[in-house]
Chains A and B, each alone.
Chain A
Amino acid sequence: MKTAAVRWSALALTAGLVFAGCAQGTSDDSSDDETGGGATFDPEAELSGELNVMGFGATDEIGQTRLDLASEAIAPVEVSLIEGDLDIQQFLSAVATGEPPELVYANRDQIGTFASRGAIIPLDACIDGEGIDTSMYLEPALNQVTFDGSVYGIPEFNSVQITQANADLLAAAGLTLDDVNGSDWDAVSAANEAMYVGDGGSLSVIGYDSKLPEFLPLWAKANGADLLSEDGRTAQLDDPAVLEALEWAVSIYDAQGGFGTVKAYRDSADFFGAGNQFATNVLGAMPMEQWYVNVLNDVSPDAPMAFDTVRDRQGEPLAYASGSAWAIPADSANPEAACRFIKTMTETDSWIAAAQARVDLREAEGKPFTGLLTGNAEADQAIQDQFVKPSGDEKWDAAVAATYEANENTFTLPANPADAEFKTAWQDAVNRVLNGQQEPAEALAQAQEEAQAALDEAWATWDEREEG
């Protein structure tokens, strides 16, 4: 009797497991959630339900102010944040199981990969329905979230590089900012050698740090080349202008005893502390993102700093931009609320309110407001006009001016379905050169092959899906 019961239970359990297994992938494929077409995006519509946001944390006054406004705009929808950097595996698994968050916050360069795999929906209906004016976003930022002709993300924030230099070291070597802003590579090389102090494998002052491997796209663009074609389909890593840029940027390290020596010295620095490389006069100049100005201003306000934009070889300002983006996952349970939330988070008034909160906080701390790059050109202009005032300290004002100038002269790599593989290919190539394992031409040729193979495969999958 008992044995029979056990057998029947086991049979029922097995059948349950088998049917549960078979249930995978049998969800209603006829729904039009992949395009968001089932949702009605109407700015006057009453909203309800929940909005779980993955990858976003309101960790400062900029985030919190906008979050409050966006939450109010979609009330009574209950907003929950799944904080921390976006975990791609967690996100894609959630989408695969049909239970994604209602909204996701990602790096802009991830949007192409998500879009190509059908993990997020195009926002055309959302943009039209809620009346989002996309012309207010910075064009390079919008390009970064536009995949195969459709906008898949709404950009926010913009990170740009500016030239950051030690004015005392420049003056001692008889140099000016023009010698290290990148407009003349020979001048940068000469400045590097003039400011560098070292002896063989030992280094005590880095003359110039060309910030490889991460800034290869910047130096390539300064030399007139893009790493990837405009449509995101063709790698251009073996372009002679890219090769020339890499050779020059590597030569900066070679002149100082090699990359290993410079990196070891760089790694041992108190980067975020009062003993940072500029405050302790052990770094001449480098291109660096604008957020580091805030760090320097906070921890070493008296450091002898000088700032300019990074410039291309024609002397024009240039910055390789990155930032974040909002996207609505496929099968999002509340795309209407997600869309209005995005709209409010990124609209000009929200940014101005957030900037006001930061200005108030900085004033309370007795520190200057160093600007805010939002990814929204209209908001950037309004914030600059309204809040950016001379601080009384010329060097920090120069940093802010350089930041805004750089913000108007950015470029990005286009969205593509194999961003991670593409980035790994060129970064590994640069690293092989820096580690002395390959010559630049050989490394870039290998990277070109690897990157193009990854792009071809990913685009072929996307094209097949589109045709199917």
Chain B
Amino acid sequence: MASTQVNAPGTLGDGRAARARRIGRRRETRAALLFISPWIIGFLIFTAWPIIYSAYLSLTDYDVINDPNYVGLENYEELFRDPDVALALWNTFFFTVIQVPVYVIVSLALALLLDKAGRASGFFRTAFFLPKMTPPVAVGILLLLLFNGQSGLINEALSWFGIDGPAWTTDPDWVKPGLILMSLWSVGSSVIILLAALRNVPQELYDSARVDGANWWQQTRKITVPMISGALFFIFIVNTIAGFQTFTEAYTAFFGSGNTTYSNDAALFYVIYLFRQAFEFLNMGYASAMAWLLFVIIMIFTAIQIKVSRRFVYYEGEQR
């Protein structure tokens, strides 16, 4: 049996142990770095380098094939003069500001319903999540079919209530509302996240509230929402970023395969305009400047959301 030597604190043995711990930590660090090195190398080559390079390209005139020509801040100055940038930003802000709250509210409402669904909840979870599996390009085409002003299912349904539905796919006033409604097609993933959060709310809180005479609305407002505020905040922030970057469905429906020549300014979102500048007009320098502007905008909005969230979001075990 091995014997163990124990040294009193402050003795020579104590220093040896500390050194051994340091060596151990260093070895662990090296091992950890080795194991994550494939990711680090991938990140440096495929993410960090392109980010840095795009910052450089944003200061150049670059058409992919010829060497970048340094133009200083000209591309950034052009951003403020280009009326299509202003239009695209307005469309994107409008879409995000309306779509994100609607998306979160619908997700929460469905999650609350599912939470009460009992044994059928598994079926509905699957049913709600399935549309999320649809490729975004297909969703763009689906939009044109569902929201067709003449024969689309949406206007057909509205006509049952005597409502003459609008021209969702051509009337500039209705294009963005149509896209916002269509975005609810993929609400399933958020519903699942919120449902998981709801299941983690301690039942005792509701029991106590009921004893105190709280009704459903009071329980939801005072217990449910605060207790799942972390998940709500996550969905809010992720969808805000996605809103600013919205592209595929709108591009497919109004600029891509759904309409090769017809387009609608009302659907010209910022990333669509960026894509056109980069890959249709080959203005890579200008497109890079656009990308950096979007990055700054998203960072500002995210920072504001994080700041505001400190007042409203509750994390279990957090020291306040």
Residues of A within 8 A of B (CB): 25, 88-89, 92-93, 95-96, 113, 117-119, 201-203, 213-214, 258-261, 263-265, 267-268, 418, 420-421, 424, 427-428, 431-432, 434-437, 454
Asked whether any CB of chain A lies closer than 8 Å to the CB of B229, the reply is no
Residues of B within 8 A of A (CB): 63-67, 144, 148-152, 164, 167, 169-172, 260-266, 276, 279-282
Residue of B nearest to A92 (CB): B64
Distance from A417 Cβ to chain B, minimum over Cβ atoms (Å): 10
Q: Could you say which residues of chain B place their CB within 8 Å of the CB of A93? A: 64
Contact A263 B65 (CB under 8 A): no
Known contacts A89-B279, A420-B280, A432-B265, A268 near B67 by CB under 8 Å: no
Contact B170 A260 (CB under 8 A): yes
Q: Could you say which residues of chain B place their CB within 8 Å of the CB of A89? A: 64, 279
B65's partner among A117, A418, A424, A434 (CB-CB below 8 A) is A117
Contact A264 B151 (CB under 8 A): yes
Distance from A221 Cβ to chain B, minimum over Cβ atoms (Å): 17
Contact A267 B63 (CB under 8 A): no
Distance from B123 Cβ to chain A, minimum over Cβ atoms (Å): 33
Contact A202 B150 (CB under 8 A): yes
12 cross-chain CB contacts under 8 A? A93-B64, A117-B64, A117-B65, A117-B66, A118-B66, A259-B170, A265-B150, A267-B144, A267-B148, A268-B148, A424-B276, A454-B281
- Number of A-B residue pairs at CB separation under 8 A: 92
Distance from A46 Cβ to chain B, minimum over Cβ atoms (Å): 32
Contact A268 B151 (CB under 8 A): yes
Contact B164 A201 (CB under 8 A): yes
Contact B170 A263 (CB under 8 A): yes
Contact B67 A203 (CB under 8 A): no
Distance from A438 Cβ to chain B, minimum over Cβ atoms (Å): 9
Contact A260 B171 (CB under 8 A): yes
3 residue pairs, one from A and one from B, having the closest CB atoms: A260-B170, A260-B167, A264-B149
Contact B262 A213 (CB under 8 A): yes
Contact A431 B64 (CB under 8 A): no
Residue of B nearest to A93 (CB): B64
Contact A431 B172 (CB under 8 A): no
Known contacts A117-B66, A201-B149, A264-B149, A424 near B280 by CB under 8 Å: yes
Q: Could you say which residues of chain B place their CB within 8 Å of the CB of A260? A: 149, 167, 169-171
Known contacts A93-B64, A117-B282, A261-B167, A431 near B263 by CB under 8 Å: yes
Bound Cα distance A92, B281 (Å): 12
B149's partner among A95, A261, A418, A427 (CB-CB below 8 A) is A261
Bound Cα distance A191, B280 (Å): 39
Contact B148 A264 (CB under 8 A): yes
Q: Could you say which residues of chain B place their CB within 8 Å of the CB of A436? A: 171-172
Contact B149 A437 (CB under 8 A): no
Most buried by A among B144, B164, B263, B279: B263
Distance from B275 Cβ to chain A, minimum over Cβ atoms (Å): 11
A435's partner among B66, B151, B164, B264 (CB-CB below 8 A) is B264
A437's partner among B152, B265, B276 (CB-CB below 8 A) is B265
Q: Could you say which residues of chain A place their CB within 8 Å of the CB of B279? A: 88-89
Q: Could you say which residues of chain A place their CB within 8 Å of the CB of B262? A: 213, 263, 431, 434
A427's partner among B66, B167, B171, B261 (CB-CB below 8 A) is B261
Q: Could you say which residues of chain A place their CB within 8 Å of the CB of B151? A: 264-265, 268
Distance from A152 Cβ to chain B, minimum over Cβ atoms (Å): 14
Q: Could you say which residues of chain B place their CB within 8 Å of the CB of A213? A: 261-262
Distance from A275 Cβ to chain B, minimum over Cβ atoms (Å): 13
Q: Could you say which residues of chain B place their CB within 8 Å of the CB of A432? A: 265
Q: Could you say which residues of chain B place their CB within 8 Å of the CB of A258? A: 167
Contact B263 A427 (CB under 8 A): yes
Q: Could you say which residues of chain B place their CB within 8 Å of the CB of A263? A: 169-170, 262
Q: Could you say which residues of chain B place their CB within 8 Å of the CB of A418? A: 281
